Amino acid sequence: MLRSTISSLVPRATSVARHMSNAAKLTTVEINDVTGIATLTMNRPPVNGLNLELLTDLNNSIQEIEDNKSRGLILTSSNPTIFSAGLDILEMYKPDKERLKAFWTTLQDVWLALYGSAVPTAAAINGHSPAGGCLLATSCEYRVMLPKFTIGLNETKLGIVAPKWFMSSFLSVLPRRVAERALNQGRMFTTDEALRNGLIDEVANSKEEALAKCAEFIGSFSKVNPLARSLTKQQLRAAELSELENERAQDLEKFIFFVNQPAVQKGLGIYLENLKKKSKN
Ligand SMILES: CC/C=C\C/C=C\C/C=C\CC/C=C/CC(=O)SCCNC(=O)CCNC(=O)[C@H](O)C(C)(C)COP(=O)(O)OP(=O)(O)OC[C@H]1O[C@@H](n2cnc3c(N)ncnc32)[C@H](O)[C@@H]1OP(=O)(O)O
Task: Tell me the pLDDT tens digit for each residue of 164-204.
Answer: 999 999 999 999 999 999 999 999 999 999 999 999 999 99
Residue 203: partners with Cβ closer than 8 Å, 6 or more residues away: 144, 145, 146, 147, 191, 192, 195
Q: Is the CB of 131 under 6 A from ligand 1?
A: yes
Cα of 224 vs centre of ligand 1, distance in Å, is 39
* Residue 29 phi, psi (nearest 5): -125, 125
Identify the band that residue 6 occupies on the pLDDT scale cut at 50, 70 and 90: very low
The type of residue at 218 is I
Q: Is the CB of 233 under 6 A from ligand 1?
A: no
| pLDDT, position 24 | 76
* Residue 153 phi, psi (nearest 5): -105, 100
> Is 87 an annotated catalytic residue?
yes
> Is 155 an annotated catalytic residue?
yes
Q: Is the CB of 90 under 6 A from ligand 1?
A: yes
Query: Considering the domain 17-280 in this protein, what is its CATH number?
Result: 3.90.226.10
pLDDT, tens only, 72-108? 999 999 999 999 999 999 999 999 999 999 999 999 9
* Spatial separation of the C-alpha atoms in residues 43 and 29, rounded to whole Å: 11
Identify which of 80, 40, 95, 94 has the alpha carbon closest to the alpha carbon of residue 62: 40
* Spatial separation of the C-alpha atoms in residues 16 and 65, rounded to whole Å: 17
> Is 274 an annotated catalytic residue?
no
Q: Is the CB of 154 under 6 A from ligand 1?
A: yes
Helix (H) or strand (E) holding 238: helix 226-246
What does the angle CA 46 – CA 189 – CA 272 come to, to the nearest 5 degrees? 40
Give the pTM: 0.93
ipTM given for this complex? 0.97
Specify the ligand 1 atom closest to the Cα of 47. 46
Q: Is the CB of 80 under 6 A from ligand 1?
A: no
> Is 72 an annotated catalytic residue?
no
CB 214 within 8 A of CB 35: no
Identify which of 268, 248, 247 has the alpha carbon closest to the alpha carbon of residue 259: 268
CB 127 within 8 A of CB 79: yes
